[in-house]
């Protein structure tokens, strides 16, 4: 109230008045002030099914839904000027003959008659129609339109429940016996998607038609769920705020940069925060191809008349509720979708999740600030220069998350060792010695206490020191235990020896680096790409050709080392069995 006194003409607070001498609300009410970021990232149990379902809707279902929507529009939009689609408004003998042909054609082709949608059925109930009435579930207007009869002649009257099939003038009444017999023979069904193409189920459980027969309202409902999926993927991959998401124009997809294998995909929107709506500036977000494709699908759903991909007043909470109902409903179960668990899910949570995931990686803090556009916000620049500010808290949170990740990866490496997937590289022997000693220690514990089953936490306690030294490289694990052995520090001759220099890493020669089976595709791809470039280099560029040849050979040696380690592990396991 004191901060807003100048807005009031009467009964305003005295000038200079500050309640409780300017003390904060936390101090006045005695509530401890919460430290750190209040918005927590989404848990894996929620994030995994969310992304799985959204990507399935975008990549598999969206092309089919959009194709059917376009077909519906073509077949239901009447001609505007020449009147050819309006048809004859009267039903004479010739029209009745055409109606008979239409009804009999349904029987010959075994094609069900159309059903009215749920809104039309609700209206019939309000008019007094009985559900036992033979034509309660028959779209009479569709039969007339199929015969070329449109306009007022196609409007059934409300007394149809008691007076038979009545249109103005009793147009269909003489055909009632024939129509009753035809409906009993072929039945009724929604008009669209009757012969839907099959698609693979999301859970890999075979192929199913992408939709059951559906009304146009049902088709629009599926389009809304797909639009929600597009919003989730774009928000999670780009880190955009809601104000930036609703500013995505129809032409937000900028042309990809680079080659197809290493293309950069970009989306443009207006940067609002820190600028204001009146001074908003255009900016670009680097995204993965999945988000780039999602923007294209969202554009097609929005239509040509829409200026933006998403409406300005979008209600994300309501959109997510509907998506959850769809994935957990009968249609989601038929398509093999995974129900999205309950739990908090907002655009802020998605943005926070991306920030934590990026910051996990080497140099990730700077990358997160750039991706989330923190560098362009004045308050964020202040955080970097203020000890104990939000930036320091963010760094502390990232440090905790990195330690958890390192413990998980180290435990996974130990489990791989137990399952016959040994590491390779210069530091592999030392790591295998450690794993063997831990395995022997666990074996001794089994002898002394055979009834106790050791949990992952006990193994993690034994691996804690080694996990604290783990640094992830692009295609290797760096166990930074001894700075004197670090090849990168020797090459750089740096005075700061607290952490390795990932940019100068040569894992093929560093005695503290290991290669694991998960790194093999990266090295194999590097060798193949080097050979492609070698084939394109002219004869005069001998130095460049020699350099690329050496890189390809080194990559081949790493791949061979990984394969040899797997063979050695298999042989060792067989020896133990014998």
Q: Domains of the chain: which residue ranges? A: 1-33, 44-68+201-369, 78-189, 399-578
- Give Cβ neighbours of residue 411 (< 8 Å, ≥ 6 apart): 456, 459, 460, 463, 467
Give the pLDDT confidence score for residue 93 in this predicted structure.
64
Give the pLDDT confidence score for residue 233 in this predicted structure.
95
Please, what are the averages of pLDDT over each run of 10 residues along the chain (578 residues)? 67 75 70 63 90 95 94 70 44 71 86 84 79 77 76 44 44 74 86 90 93 90 95 92 91 84 85 71 87 95 90 91 94 94 90 77 63 48 36 64 83 88 90 88 65 64 85 87 88 82 84 91 88 81 84 90 84 47
Of 297, 265, 296, whose CA–CA distance to 62 is shortest?
297
Give the pLDDT confidence score for residue 87 in this predicted structure.
43
Question: What ranges in 309-377 are assigned the alpha helix state H?
Answer: 316-328, 330-334, 347-359, 364-371
Give the pLDDT confidence score for residue 380 in this predicted structure.
31
CB atoms within 10 A of CB 136: 17
498: which 2 tokens? 């607290």
Give the pLDDT confidence score for residue 224 in this predicted structure.
95
Give the pLDDT confidence score for residue 531 in this predicted structure.
85
Of 233, 223, 219, 290, whose CA–CA distance to 76 is shortest?
219
Give the pLDDT confidence score for residue 199 in this predicted structure.
95
Residues in a beta bridge with 265? 287
- Give Cβ neighbours of residue 518 (< 8 Å, ≥ 6 apart): none
Of 517, 509, 493, whose CA–CA distance to 554 is shortest?
509
- Give Cβ neighbours of residue 316 (< 8 Å, ≥ 6 apart): 231, 242, 346, 347
Distance, in Å, from the CA atom of 361 to the CA atom of 511, rounded to the nearest integer, reads 22
Distance, in Å, from the CA atom of 281 to the CA atom of 273, rounded to the nearest integer, reads 10
Give the pLDDT confidence score for residue 389 in this predicted structure.
46
Q: Scanning the structure block, which residue is given the tokens 């349904």?
A: 106
CA-based end-to-end distance of the chain: 82
CA 26 to chain centre: 38
Question: What ranges in 214-288 are assigned the alpha helix state H?
Answer: 216-238, 242-245
What CATH number labels 44-68+201-369? 1.10.443
Burial 21-36 (b: 16+ CB within 10 A, else e): eeeeeeeeeeeeeeee
């Amino acid at each position: 109230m004191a901060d807003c006194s100048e807005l009031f003409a009467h009964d305003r607070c005295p000038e200079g008045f500050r309640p409780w001498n300017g003390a904060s609300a936390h101090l006045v009410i005695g509530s401890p002030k919460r430290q750190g970021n209040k918005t927590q990232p989404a848990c894996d149990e929620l994030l995994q099914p969310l992304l799985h379902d959204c990507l399935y809707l975008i990549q598999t279902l969206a092309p089919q839904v959009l194709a059917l929507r376009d077909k519906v529009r073509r077949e239901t939009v009447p001609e505007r000027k020449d009147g050819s689609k309006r048809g004859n408004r009267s039903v004479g003998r010739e029209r009745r003959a055409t109606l008979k042909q239409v009804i009999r054609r349904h029987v010959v082709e075994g094609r069900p008659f159309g059903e009215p949608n749920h809104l039309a059925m609700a209206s019939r109930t309000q008019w007094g129609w009985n559900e036992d009435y033979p034509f309660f579930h028959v779209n009479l207007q569709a039969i007339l339109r199929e015969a070329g009869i449109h306009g007022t002649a196609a409007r059934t009257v409300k007394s149809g429940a008691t007076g038979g099939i009545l249109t103005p003038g009793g147009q269909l009444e003489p055909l009632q016996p024939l129509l009753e017999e035809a409906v009993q023979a072929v039945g009724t069904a929604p008009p669209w998607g009757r012969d839907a193409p099959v698609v693979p189920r999301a859970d890999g459980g075979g192929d199913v038609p992408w939709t059951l027969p559906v009304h146009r309202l049902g088709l629009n409902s599926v389009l809304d769920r797909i639009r929600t999926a597009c919003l989730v993927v774009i928000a999670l991959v780009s880190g955009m705020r809601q104000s930036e998401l609703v500013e995505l124009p129809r032409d937000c997809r900028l042309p990809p940069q680079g080659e197809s294998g290493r293309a950069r995909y970009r989306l443009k929107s207006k940067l609002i925060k820190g600028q204001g709506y009146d001074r908003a500036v255009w900016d670009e977000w680097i995204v993965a191809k999945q988000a780039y494709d999602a923007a294209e699908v969202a554009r097609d759903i929005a239509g040509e008349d829409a200026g933006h991909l998403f409406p300005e007043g979008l209600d994300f909470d309501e959109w997510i509720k509907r998506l959850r109902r769809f994935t957990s409903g009968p249609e989601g179960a038929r398509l093999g979708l995974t129900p999205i668990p309950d739990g908090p899910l907002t655009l802020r949570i998605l943005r926070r999740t991306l920030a934590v995931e990026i910051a996990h990686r080497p140099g990730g803090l700077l990358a997160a600030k750039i991706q989330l556009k923190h560098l362009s916000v004045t308050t964020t620049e202040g955080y970097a220069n203020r000890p104990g500010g939000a930036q320091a808290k963010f760094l502390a949170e990232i440090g905790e998350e990195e330690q958890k990740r390192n413990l998980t990866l180290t435990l996974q490496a130990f489990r791989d060792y137990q399952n016959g997937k040994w590491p390779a590289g210069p530091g592999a022997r030392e790591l295998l010695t450690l794993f063997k000693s831990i395995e022997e220690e666990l074996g001794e514990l089994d002898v002394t206490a055979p009834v106790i089953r050791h949990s992952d936490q006990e193994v993690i306690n034994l691996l804690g020191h080694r996990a604290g030294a783990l640094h992830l490289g692009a295609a290797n694990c760096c166990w930074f235990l001894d700075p004197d052995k670090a090849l990168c520090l020797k090459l750089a001759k740096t005075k700061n020896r607290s952490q390795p220099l990932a940019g100068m890493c040569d894992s093929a020669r560093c005695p503290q680096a290991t290669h694991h089976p998960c790194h093999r595709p990266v090295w194999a791809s590097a060798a193949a790409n080097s050979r492609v470039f070698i084939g394109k280099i002219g004869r005069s560029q001998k130095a460049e050709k020699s350099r690329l040849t050496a890189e390809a050979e080194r990559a081949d040696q790493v791949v061979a080392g990984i394969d040899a380690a797997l063979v050695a592990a298999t042989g060792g396991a067989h020896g133990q069995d014998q």
